[in-house]
Structure 1
Amino acid sequence: MSEKLKVLFLCTGNACRSQISEGWARALKSDVLEAWSAGVAPHGVDPRAVRVMAEAGVDLAGHHSKHVDELLAIPFDYVVTVCDAAAESCPIFPGPARRVHRGFQDPPRLARDAATEEEALGHYRRVRDEIRAYIETLPESLGQS
């Protein structure tokens, strides 16, 4: 590949799933991808997402939630929506950006009824690992060879 693919991971709040996606992409695929994340209604990075990624050796502590409008000038090759709500409200990007949807369950929503913190973190860990498995398939699963 001559240039890295520019990929934006988008979800509603840019708090959990898109942050985890960006973190994994930077950690596992920085040789072929330039990764960013944003939200359509950002509301801060989820501390539990930071915690479970740290357990896996990926530091999200310096990340912050960004509104997708902050990144519209970047010529993304792909915009990957990682939640259904973001897929429905994803803005139109100028240039060649191709939209791909790969939804994941929402760990904060899953953790709401958890009886213990450990049970809540279990939801985050499962989704973290599902996102990692997806990121490991990139860029091939985006249609690139």
Structure 2
Amino acid sequence: MGKPMVLFLCTGNSARSQMAEAFLRQHAGNIYDAHSAGLNPQGVHPLTIQVMQEVGIDISEHQSKSLTQYLGKASPKWVIFVCEKAESSCPHVWPFSLQSESWRFEDPVDSVGDDLERIMKFRSVRDQIETRILDWISKNKISSETENQFEFRE
């Protein structure tokens, strides 16, 4: 059996979902098959690439993907919405998806201000996402270990 699939969804697949996908691959890519998509793919935002590079993760080759690439074609174990718009607009029933979660992060693409204020917003959201990913990995590792304790073996 392959690694369980985790699909991060947001509006443009340009920032938050790209960060979440990259962090899950970085921290637990040996356990999970991480993907991301958006309702209306906009291309990966240059500041997303920059702030991820600052923490040693190169996503310069990532592409924005549409939700339609996954609907009816993939069976994620987890669907994680990283924005309210995607959560309210996406189908809530995914065939074979065991869980969905809502992680609402402010969209750094919508930030206003000078260059410094905008990059600071991207960094802030990046750090929030990494913290949430690490917590999620820890929680799900505990859940998996607990489930394994109750497996019946011959």
Q: Higher helix proportion, which one?
A: 2
Flag the structure with larger Rg.
Answer: 2
1:26 positional shift: 0.7
The letter for the 2-side match of 1:96 is S
The letter for the 1-side match of 2:121 is H
- Secondary structure of the 1:137 match is helix
Aligned residue in 2 for 1:118? 116
1:63 positional shift: 0.5
Aligned residue in 2 for 1:80? 80
The letter for the 1-side match of 2:103 is R
1:96 positional shift: 2.9
1:133 positional shift: 0.3
Q: What CA RMSD, in Å, does the superposition of the two structures yield over aligned residues?
A: 1.6
Aligned residue in 2 for 1:108? 109
The letter for the 2-side match of 1:76 is P
Mean CA deviation greater in 60-69 or 89-98: 89-98
The letter for the 2-side match of 1:108 is V
Aligned residue in 2 for 1:99? 100
1:90 positional shift: 1.5
> Any gaps of 5 or more consecutive residues in structure 2?
145-154
Aligned residue in 1 for 2:148? none
Cα distance between partner residues in 2 of 1:96 and 1:36: 14
Deviations 1:6-40 (A, max 9, x none): 10000011011000100111111112211000001
Q: Which consecutive segments of 4 or more residues in structure 1 shift more than 6 A?
A: none
> Any gaps of 5 or more consecutive residues in structure 1?
none
Any conservation in 1 of the 2:79–2:97 contact (CA below 8 Å)?
Answer: no
